[in-house]
Amino acid sequence: MPVDVDAAVGANTRLSRDYNVLALEAPAIAAIARPGQFVMLKPAHGTDPLLRRPFSIFEILRDPHGAPAGISILNKKVGVGTSLLYDAEPGRRVACLGPLGRPFTVKDPPVEAWMVAGGVGLAPFATLAAALARRGAKTTLFYGARRAQDLFFTDLFERVGVALVLSTEDGSRGHHGLISDPLGSALASRAADAPLAIYACGPTGMMRAVASLAGRHGRRAEVSLEQVMGCGMGGCYSCVVKVRRGSDVPHFVRSCIEGPVFDAAEIVWDELTH
Amino acid sequence: MDLGVPIGSLRLKNPLIAASGCFGYGVEYAETVDLSALGAIVVKGLFLNEREGHPPPRIIETPSGMLNAIGLQGIGVHRFIREKLPELCERRAVTIVNVCGSTLEEYVEVSRILSDAEGVAALELNISCPNIKEGGIQFGCSLTGTHAVVSAVRKVTRLPVIPKLTPNVTDVASFARAAEEAGADAVSLVNTFLAMAIDIETRRPKLSNVMGGLSGPAIRPIAVRMVHECHQATRLPIIGMGGIARAEDALEFAIAGATAVQVGTANFVDPFIWPKLQHGIEDYLTRHGLTRWMDLIGTMDTRKTS
């Protein structure tokens, strides 16, 4: 069950002119959040902005005794709300509703896991990597961005033992091109009978490419979709995604409660806006 | 403190009602909200059959408000009765169903089916959704259409009948009167204002449906005015809504003439809003020496100030 925490801003780490990581003191959310879940944030009282916005939970923050103390989010400044979150000074209050949504599936016993991230789509993978590391799963992060300076937190992943495959569109670090290129090569060279879990989050084009590669190699992939949301609770029906399940006619489902994590093979990609 | 509210034969324990289209089928909030503590919930509009609704983007934020064009995606009346109503009954929610139709016959058929189901408290007739092509607002924008739908449904149900009025007309009070003459037990107003927004860079409409309905605090003063006009024009109980986000807003609607209020957009922002609204109302009544909510209704002081 989600809770609404009037969370104080802890640290605000600005990574660049438009990206920051914002720590929020929300122990009640941190204690129950699972990898892939999200929170709905309202950075200011009043009516501008009016609605909350969804954010993946980036990290679970702990106090010196190891108890859950808060969460962080990876924010990209694009509008009024995200600008307020970029500028938020420690002590400011942010209404934080969560945890919400269907988390990633973590297999038991653990199998090797590949996480595929594009840009701010890195957000849900820090907690997933930590959960997989605790289970002893071998993990790789395929992580693409426009430029080298937009590849954040690679050290955070290396610390928990995640192998890195990087790409940049301008060739300034890692593979020159899209992250789906090295993912495709890795899939092609992997033995078909070796179990593998694939998780992806990023721009729609990237996730669609991951879905297609996974399908071609007979692999299941989970994608975390970011849709425009009004409430995050299933009340408004604004965040719908068209899915095809079994023999059903493709139909809209709410990504806030049936997602944001979906089986990539279910998504009707041609109808996915955004 | 008596917050009780009579709506026709129905008595609500308090005047706070979750607005249709803003509360799913109620079950989505069952873990978060004590459904039995609300005056009532109005579930998402139901046609006879399932509907897919419009493609996204379905909402966009605007100054102090939002536009929506969901297109009444829904599971249809039969699945609602089978899959949702039992849990609502179990949780002792007072369930009002928002009834939709493409034709007069469909309103009647859906109303008849719901009247035979166990656990429906009242019918709210959706003759005001701005986002569908056929039916709905076509009835709500014509006095004869409004009269026809209400009187046809009146004939097939003993449940309280509450037409939901559109603000997209010149004289909303005449629609309240038409509803009263046709045998309605109450009216609810306002539905959303037909509106649109354009992305100037791409020159494309921001909603896939081009136009949508405006809700939220932006519309509140117009909604208060319309409730006042209907209160002047009819004796029907009025369920007021339009941008209510605080107890003060609910009280303003009551003073203007609303017997009960619905909360929609504000529930998106704060799903835990209900007890806050109720406490705010109780504090106000205490402060003003009132013991009954009903003593506040329509008490606007229109004397000239000196």
SS3 for A23-80, per residue? EEECHHHHCCCCCCCEEEEECCCCCCCCCCEEEECCEEEECCCCCEEEEEEEEECCCH
Which candidate from A42, A240, A242 shows the least CB-CB separation from B269?
A42
Separation between Cα atoms, residue A132 and residue B287, nearest integer Å: 57
| Largest pairwise CA distance in chain A | 56
pTM above 0.90, yes or no: yes
pLDDT of res. B111: 98
pLDDT of res. B51: 94
- Chain A residues closer than 8 Å to B208 by CB: 273
Distance from CA of B18 to the nearest CA of A (A): 11
Separation between Cα atoms, residue A238 and residue A273, nearest integer Å: 12
pLDDT of res. B139: 84
Exposure string of B23-36, with b = 16+ CB inside 10 Å and e = fewer, is: bbbbbbbbebbebe
In the structure encoding, which two tokens stand for residue B55, read together? 């493609």
CB contact under 8 A, B53 and A47: no
Which is nearest to B236 in space by CA: B262, B261, B257? Answer: B257
In the structure encoding, which two tokens stand for residue A128, read together? 């997933």
- Chain A residues closer than 8 Å to B206 by CB: none
pLDDT, mean of residues B160-165? 98
Chain A contacts in chain B segment 93-112 (CB below 8 A)? none
Cα A147 from chain centroid? Answer: 20
In the structure encoding, which two tokens stand for residue B45, read together? 């509009």
Going along chain A from its start, the domains and CATH numbers come out as 3-100 (2.40.30.10), 113-226 (3.40.50.80)
Q: What is the pLDDT of residues B244-279, one digit of tens each?
A: 999 999 999 999 999 999 999 999 999 999 999 999
CB contact under 8 A, A230 and B66: yes
Going along chain B from its start, the domains and CATH numbers come out as 5-50+73-193+216-296 (3.20.20.70)
Which candidate from A42, A47, A236 shows the least CB-CB separation from B217?
A47
pLDDT surpassing 90 at residue B131: no
Residues contacting residue A140 through CB under 8 Å, at least 6 positions apart: A112, A113, A114, A115, A162, A163, A164, A165, A186
Separation between Cα atoms, residue A172 and residue A149, nearest integer Å: 9
B49 touches chain A (CB under 8 A): no
Which candidate from A47, A51, A273 shows the least CB-CB separation from B55?
A273
Q: Low-confidence residues of chain A, pLDDT below 50?
A: none
pLDDT surpassing 90 at residue B135: no
- Chain B residues closer than 8 Å to A53 by CB: none
Distance from CA of B47 to the nearest CA of A (A): 16
Which candidate from A50, A239, A257 shows the least CB-CB separation from B269?
A50
Beta strand pairing call for A240-243 and A221-224: unpaired
pLDDT of res. B235: 96
Question: Could you tell me the pLDDT band of residue B133, with boundaries at 50, 70 and 90?
Answer: low
pLDDT of res. B137: 79
3-class secondary structure, A185:
helix
User: If you count them, how many residues does chain B have?
Assistant: 306
pLDDT surpassing 90 at residue B283: yes
pLDDT of res. A131: 94
Residues of B with active-site annotation: 129
Q: What is the pLDDT of residues B202-239, one digit of tens each?
A: 999 999 999 999 999 999 999 999 999 999 999 999 99
Output phi, psi for B36, to 5 deg.
Answer: -75, -15
Of all residues in chain B, the percent with pLDDT exceeding 90 is 94
Residue of chain B nearest A273, judged by CA positions:
B56
Q: Which of A29-33, B103-107, B151-155, B301-305 has the lowest mean pLDDT?
A: B301-305
Distance from CA of A267 to the nearest CA of B (A): 14
pLDDT of res. B168: 95
- Chain B residues closer than 8 Å to A95 by CB: 270
pLDDT of res. A192: 86
